[in-house]
Amino acid sequence: MTGAPTVSVIVVSRGRPVSLTLCLTGLARLYYPAYEIIVVADRTGLAAVRAAGFAEEIKTVGCDEPNISAARNLGIAEAAGEIVAFIDDDAVPEPAWLDHLVQGFRFPEAAAAGGYVLGRNGISFQWKARSVDHTGLAQPLDVPGDAPVLLTPADGRAIKTEGTNMAVRRDVLAEMGGFDPAYRFYLDETDLNLRLARAGHATAIVPLALVHHAYAESDRRTRTRAPLDLFEIGASTAVFLRRHCPEEEHARIFQRLREGRRRALIGYMVDGRIEPRDVARLMRRLDEGIADGIARPVSQMPPIARAQHWFLPFESRASGETKVIGGRLVRARRHRQKARQAAEQGHTVSLFLLSRTALAHRVRFTRDGVWEQIGGLWGRSGRDKGRVRLTTFARRINDEAFRVALSRNLPIVEPSDAKNLQ
């Protein structure tokens, strides 16, 4: 593959216009030179696209059906890029996300690529590299270093990609019919992973392709991540087993699912996130979903035709220039104003606000388009580090800027030059 391949980024959104707006703010600041954005959303989501000022620059498709696979297929039908990338509406990409993700397709054998997903604190990983078997059980993979790696799955397994941070060659994806609408939610991308593996395709894992995922509330979960309904979990599991697992193993897998979900629900109950009566109700819904999935019609997906509309290149709001601002947390208002003004000028801004404490660090992307990190001067950022570290203010800012440099295209600055970052 020569040059920068065109990429269509698809976002599916339903009932989360605020989250969608933040996601679009992040997508609007990518460095990648040749990408289009496609939003498949309900009326509130389409209104959010207009309110954000993107109506003329983004392809939009109306869809209020609670079926993420069907919605993604609508997006694929509009995608005119060589590569189709996916991100959830409650996620935000790092500025160099696409630059890194497409590196996976430097391997001619790669049909798909997946990156790593960061959790709510913006530092810990939700998911890294994993493989998955015919029962839907995922296992971690050891991928050393930051360089993209091409992985060919072992017999009966597939390389797992996460729906909020993955990409597939459009011609391959379209020929396969996209995502299976029988999976309205859950295991939809896992089913695609198994189908790719069965067809003999390899997948690249790209550690530096980073997305922040917030787990926003929805009609399936609360803002504390407690489940509101397990029906589609049960239904999708049943469909997945019918598609990929020998029938004699189904009963064992369903029992494993029930036991795992019950343990999780009891944990939520102990934490006070659900009521005791919710446990029985949710387990009943899980069984109802399993019964529905066993009877749910499944069929072969027809190929998806070429997009009827031309590729619509999005003009990134990022100028390509970067700015690091470091300051004391007690002067946060002044530093945030400075960061906001820099972002308005097109800079990619990393703002570090430090207190004279050992508090752990957190990272968030603001509505103003600023990457803001807050924590103690002596607190840890990486959760695998010690809880306390002795350092100076200038050196700590430099260390944190170095930590995120490759995902934000920041210059690598020697510690002795750290004062220049303030």
Domains annotated for the chain, with CATH where assigned, are 7-213 (3.90.550.10), 231-295 (no CATH), 322-421 (no CATH)
Quote the pLDDT of residue 354: 97
Q: Is 100 left (phi over 0), alpha (psi -120 to 50) or beta?
A: alpha
Chain Cα centroid distance, residue 313: 22
What letter represents residue 306's amino acid?
R
Task: Answer for the pair 307, 78: CB distance below 8 angstroms, yes or no.
Answer: yes
Quote the pLDDT of residue 412: 62
Maximal CA-CA distance, the chain: 66
Quote the pLDDT of residue 383: 67
What letter represents residue 347's amino acid?
H
CB atoms within 10 A of CB 51: 11
What letter represents residue 233's amino acid?
I
Quote the pLDDT of residue 156: 85
Which has the closest alpha carbon to 190: 127, 146, 147? 127
Half-sphere exposure of 384 (CA within 13 A, CB side): 2
Angle formed by the axes of helices 250-270 and 276-295, to 10°? 160
CA-CA distance, 90 to 84, in Å (whole number)?
A: 19
Chain Cα centroid distance, residue 45: 18
CA-CA distance, 114 to 207, in Å (whole number)?
A: 8
Per run of 10 residues, the mean pLDDT along the chain (length 422 residues) is 85 97 98 97 98 97 97 98 98 98 97 97 96 96 95 90 98 98 96 96 98 88 90 98 97 98 96 95 98 94 95 94 94 97 96 96 97 96 74 93 93 48 39
